Amino acid sequence: MMKKELKKKLEAMCGEIGTAAAAEKIDELAKQVDEEFERRVAEGQSELDVYRELLADVDKIKAMLAELPETEEESEERERKYNAERMRPLLDSIEACMWLLTVVAYFAISFLFGHWHMTWLIFLSSAIGSVLFDMLRQYNRGVPFEKVMHREFSGVLWLGIVIVYFLYSFTVGGWAWSYSWLIFIVGAVIEVIRDGLWRSRRD
């Protein structure tokens, strides 16, 4: 039981450091710790005492592994994660300001020019902005741009279609409502084509 706990701590420690060099060392270190555990128990020490003593050595091992050199890819990944973490609060603040400005713009435009039946569409425009911010967050976390586009394309597409549908229908009015709904069929066709292209590229 104690040996398993020590091995778990070594594996967790290796995960925290996250370098390939540390990963290569972990099996060797786990074997050495296991042999040392058995030797000390055979000499008469209790398993609990041996566990405590070897646990103290884990910190020394961690310091040693942390000094192992990173590969270029690992260094770039660490830098990317650091930059993404720094960008996250900024993106959250900008998005929050965007929604506040959306509310202000909605009332300002509505009171100045009227057309309350149309001005609510500004909230859908900001929803597209939120989707774009989410795409940027994913990209900053290292998700490939192509995959980000595949995940979020539908959200942007259908929000855009709804905006165009209402803008056109409200602006033209009358007979426009009888056929403007066809834009949703166009959106469905675009979705099918986009999905087919994505699948063909993945195969």
Q: What distance in Å separates the CA atoms of residue 114 and residue 9, rounded to the nearest whole number?
A: 65
- Cα 124 from chain centroid (whole Å): 23
pLDDT at 165: 92
Tokens of 119: 């001005």
Q: What is the mean pLDDT of the chain?
A: 78
pLDDT at 57: 65
Q: What distance in Å separates the CA atoms of residue 127 and residue 140, rounded to the nearest whole number?
A: 20
Q: What distance in Å separates the CA atoms of residue 111 and residue 164, rounded to the nearest whole number?
A: 23
% of the chain surpassing 70 pLDDT: 69
Owner of token pair 């909230």 = 123
Q: Domain coordinates of the chain in residue numbers?
A: 2-66, 84-202
Indicate if the pLDDT at residue 142 is higher than 90: no
Cα–Cα distances (Å) from 135 to 106, 129, 143, in that order, read 25, 10, 9
Owner of token pair 């990173």 = 70
The SS3 assignment for 70 reads: coil
Q: What distance in Å separates the CA atoms of residue 112 and residue 110, rounded to the nearest whole number?
A: 6
pLDDT at 26: 65
pLDDT digits (tens, 9 = 90+) for 22-61: 556 666 667 777 777 777 778 777 777 766 766 666 666 6
- Expressed in angstroms, the distance from the first to the final Cα of the chain is 47
Q: Give just the sign of the alpha carbon dihedral 150, 154, 156, 157.
A: positive
pLDDT digits (tens, 9 = 90+) for 77-118: 667 777 777 778 888 888 889 999 999 999 999 999 888 888
> Residue type at 91?
L
Side-chain-side CA neighbours of residue 106 (13 Å): 17
Q: Please report how the helices 145-172 and 121-140 are oriented relative to each other, as an axis angle in degrees rounded to 10.
A: 170
pLDDT at 143: 79
